[in-house]
Amino acid sequence: MTDVGLLSPGAHRGAPCTDDTAVLQALLDVEAAWVAAQVDAGLAPAAAAAAAAAAARAADYDVADLALRAEGGGNPVIPLLADYRHRLGELDPDAVRYVHRGLTSQDVMDTALMLVVRRAAEPLVRDLAAAAAALARLADEHRGSVQAARTLTQHALPSTFGLKAATWLAGLQDLEADLAGLRTPPAAYGGAAGTLAGSLALFDGAPDAGERAVELARHWAGRLGLELPPHVWHTTRRPVLRAAETFGAVCAGLGRIANDVLLLSRPELGELREPAAEGRGVSSAMPQKQNPVLSVLLKRTALSAPQLVAQLHVAAALSVDERPDGSWHSEWSALRELARLAVAAASHAAELTRGLTVDTVRMRANLEASGPGVLAERISAVLAPVLPPAEGATGRQRVQAVVRRHATDRAGMLEALVRLAAGAVLPDGTPVDAGLVERLLDPAGYLGANDLLIDRVLERHRRAANDRPSTPAPGAGA
């Protein structure tokens, strides 16, 4: 049985840190780090840690064979331990006795999956930072590029593409705290039944055995670049849910960007265009087409992720006793697939945003094609208060009647409004003449707090860029 991502186009971008080989390496690193932690705690000789690390190379193991044999015990740790002990015995027979003692399969499996999460976070965060930098550039460059804001699919008010890009960026910024959690997820420790009995036994009845057992777990977590949680979480699955929800939120945030690109790149709108690449966007039957494939794959991912997050919530809700009977097992593939999709999506988003082409002429033309009706709010706010009631209609009603009548006719609306407001004066003494009405009909003059809103997002981006660590997270493995 082989899964190379044939039905998940683009997901290969997330495979190096999430595929079966990556999971196998994480399992081996977890076992080797446990031996090293025993060295740190004075329970094993230094030579054992060196041998344990040397035996922990995924390339030396048959991952397909391990997958077949995992059926016997219901998890891959059991057959892997047999092979790992055999391999280690060839290097240092004495070191074998330090392997896995005090642990249980769930400690290793959960910790390895958290290690996969941490390793997936590295390219994920890097590519999201690249996408954020590209969006910041677009927001600043296009703060004056007027386009139609659309609500419920219809033109609503004038806006700018710069503000749209800033809004996309803000969506990624809202994930920053969650993404930080992916860099240091917790190790899982507890032993056979979550009591740490096996770890305590390593300290031969010492009065402080409990504290020393926890310290041993701390050494282990530190070796892996993970946190030591304050409790055993065998059946308290919040660490899994937290990682899954972050991956899912990343997929949703990037899907939101993809939806806008897909809409605005339709030929009849033509406001945006994806970056071109050899062989990308081709059609098997229509060679003239250039499909927005990056956005299509981002949307695919955004639609796929929620079901995986839901699966993990169901599994957490069905945890029972001191090790779940099936719900735990159902987590593994769902969490791994979420990580793979999120990493691939971040890579797609970085490429999309860096190469996005913005057609400001089409944006302006599409806005103007809808007519001056999109400025109804502004026209009414300025003119209605200075027009007296007439023929049973308020000043607002009189303005609205003109706007409705000439919603798509700029020249007609200009003439009608000048005639309607003849002799009127604004509160500051400005007469309502053709020049003033012309300004009211200019979309660029009604952009709200466009610059302020963009600047706030960009300032947040600058702070985050300055605060971002320049070195990778500690503990790359055993």
* Domain ranges (residues) in the chain: 11-362, 371-445
Residue 65, classified by CB atoms within 10 Å of its CB into exposed (0-12), middle (13-18) or buried (19+), is: exposed
Q: How far is CA 377 from CA 100, 382, 406, 463, in A?
A: 70, 9, 14, 36
In sign, the C-alpha dihedral spanning 323, 25, 213, 92 is positive
Q: What would the pLDDT profile of 183-224 be if each residue is shown by its tens digit? A: 999 999 999 999 999 999 999 889 999 999 999 999 999 999
Mean pLDDT computed over 324-333: 95
pLDDT category of residue 278 using cuts at 50, 70 and 90:
confident
Q: What percent of the chain clears pLDDT 90, i.e. is strictly above it?
A: 89
Q: Reply yes or no on whether the pLDDT at 123 is more than 80.
A: yes
Model-level pTM?
A: 0.92
Q: Reply yes or no on whether the pLDDT at 80 is more than 90.
A: yes
| Under 8 Å between Cβ of 220 and 212 | no
The two tokens of residue 301 are 């991912």
The two tokens of residue 439 are 């300004």
Catalytic (active-site) positions:
283, 323
- Tell me the C-alpha distance between 361 and 145, whole Å: 9
For the chain, the three-class secondary structure string (H helix, E strand, C coil) is: CCCCCCCCCCHHHHHHHCCHHHHHHHHHHHHHHHHHHHHHCCCCCHHHHHHHHHCCCHHHCCHHHHHHHHHHHCCCHHHHHHHHHHHHHHHCHHHHHHCCCCCCHHHHHHHHHHHHHHHHHHHHHHHHHHHHHHHHHHHHHCCCCEEEEEECCEEEEEEEHHHHHHHHHHHHHCCHHHHHHHHCCECCCCCCCCCCHHHHHCCCCCCCHHHHHHHHHHHHHHHHCCECCCCCCCCCCHHHHHHHHHHHHHHHHHHHHHHHHHHHCCCCCCCEECCCCCCCCCCCCCCCCCCCHHHHHHHHHHHHHHHHHHHHHHHHHCCCCCCCCCHHHHHHHHHHHHHHHHHHHHHHHHHHHHHCEECHHHHHHHHHHCCHHHHHHHHHHHHHHHCCCECCECHHHHHHHHHHHCCCCHHHHHHHHHHHCCCCECCCCCECCHHHHHHHCCHHHCCCCHHHHHHHHHHHHHHHHHHCCCCCCCCCCC
Q: What would the pLDDT profile of 50-74 be if each residue is shown by its tens digit? A: 999 999 999 999 999 999 999 999 9
Nearest C-alpha neighbor of 326 from the set 74, 51, 68: 74
Q: Reply yes or no on whether the pLDDT at 472 is more than 50.
A: no
Q: Reply yes or no on whether the pLDDT at 286 is more than 70.
A: no
φ/ψ (deg, to 5) at 393: -115, 140
pLDDT category of residue 474 using cuts at 50, 70 and 90:
very low
* pLDDT for the residue numbered 477: 43
| Under 8 Å between Cβ of 475 and 226 | yes
Spelled out in words, what is the top-level CATH class assigned to the domain 11-362?
Answer: mainly alpha
Mean pLDDT computed over 229-244: 96
- Tell me the C-alpha distance between 294 and 296, whole Å: 5
- Tell me the C-alpha distance between 226 and 218, whole Å: 9
User: Which residues lie closer than 8 Å to 199 by C-beta, 6 or more apart?
Assistant: 102, 189, 191, 213, 216, 217
Q: Reply yes or no on whether the pLDDT at 471 is more than 60.
A: no
Through-space distance between the first and last CA atoms of the chain, rounded to whole angstroms: 30
- Tell me the C-alpha distance between 131 and 253, whole Å: 12
Mean pLDDT computed over 158-174: 98
Q: Reply yes or no on whether the pLDDT at 478 is more than 50.
A: no
| Under 8 Å between Cβ of 14 and 66 | no
